[in-house]
Chains A and B, each alone.
Chain A
Amino acid sequence: AQTVTQSQPEMSVQEAETVTLSCTYDTSENNYYLFWYKQPPSRQMILVIRQEAYKQQNATENRFSVNFQKAAKSFSLKISDSQLGDTAMYFCAFTRNSGYALNFGKGTSLLVTP
């Protein structure tokens, strides 16, 4: 079974600063996918970024980037130039492939302050 652990229940960052959210996972699979989802107060689940395990290059989407360490089974999310709209719950998730369910971590509540 795959497990996903987010050790930071809550974090706070000032607007325009950079923040890093941590995630570790456990799996015996060699090929898999990792994700960060954002859930604002509207509770809509929004995909922020995706990383394929077979790719060594870290994924980047505008202000969002990841640090993927496959051997350490670590997958952190860096948000640069934080904006007030980044305030949300952030979930780290894992799946084997398309058509398989997502395993989620417990989430990190991020508050961006003015």
Chain B
Amino acid sequence: DAGVIQSPRHEVTEMGQEVTLRCKPISGHNSLFWYRQTMMRGLELLIYFNNNVPIDDSGMPEDRFSAKMPNASFSTLKIQPSEPRDSAVYFCASSLKDLSSYNEQFFGPGTRLTVL
């Protein structure tokens, strides 16, 4: 398996522009997570989905952020309009939810976003 795939790996944009980050989870996984990593706040959850349904979006900073999972093999995180404080590394992770046993979350390589 190719693992969790994220694109782009790097994104540089100007303040006010729309940014879309993409994630393809591991085939067969039914849970998908978006995390953000900054120096100030560390690694924090933005939103996660189970079976394509958003379960917890309490970490989404504000209305400028939105996430979708139209099917089991694709998710997007959109920022509109982007601001310099959104500069961070955004990770996508996936796992197989099974309450009878723990299944590891596998992380993608991350997208480094820079908003000028």
Contact = CB atoms under 8 A, between A and B. Distances in A.
Interface in A71-93: 91
B102 A43 contact: no
Interface of A: 33, 42-45, 47, 50, 52, 91, 97-107
Size bracket, chain B contacts: 20 to 34
Contacts of B30: 99
A98 B43 contact: no
Interface stretch (B16-24, B44-52, B65-73): B44-52
Interface string B8-50: 0000000000000000000000110101000000111100101
B90 to A, nearest CB: 11
Contact of B102 (A45, A52, A101): A52
The dominant DSSP class at the B interface is strand
13 contacts: A43-B112, A47-B104, A97-B99, A98-B97, A98-B98, A98-B102, A99-B30, A99-B99, A101-B33, A101-B48, A101-B56, A102-B33, A104-B43
A22 to B, nearest CB: 16
Contacts of B112: 43
Interface of B: 30-31, 33, 35, 42-45, 48, 50, 56, 89, 91, 93, 95-99, 101-105, 107, 109-110, 112
Nearest to B50: A99
A18 B44 CA distance: 30
A98 B107 contact: no
B24 to A, nearest CB: 16
A97 B89 contact: no
Nearest to B101: A98
